[in-house]
Amino acid sequence: MFKQFTENISGNQAYLLFSLCIFLLFFIVVAIMLIRIRKPHVDHMSQMPLNDNLIDPSKTSQQ
């Protein structure tokens, strides 16, 4: 099936096929990263915006 596409490629169509490959490769890499991510890391990152224990630099410079 893929051989039929590559046999009839001319000029601009090569760019279309190349961009499709980049698009698919990007989403495959993202999917692999999401599968391999650790649960504690996800929990830590999800709590960061809610954590008030972090020092706010704008409050420390006021006198």
Computed over its alpha carbons, how large is the radius of gyration of the chain?
Answer: 23
- Work out the mean pLDDT of the chain and round it to a whole number: 79
- How far is 23 from 57, CA to CA, in rounded Å? 40
Q: Tokens in use for 58?
A: 């704008």
Query: Does residue 4 surpass a pLDDT of 90?
Result: no
Please give the residue that has the higher pLDDT: either 62 or 22.
22
- How would residue 14 be classed by pLDDT, with cut points 50, 70 and 90? confident
pLDDT in tens, 26-47: 999 999 999 999 998 888 888 8
CA distances to 16, 25, 31, 39, 47 from 44, in Å: 40, 28, 20, 9, 5
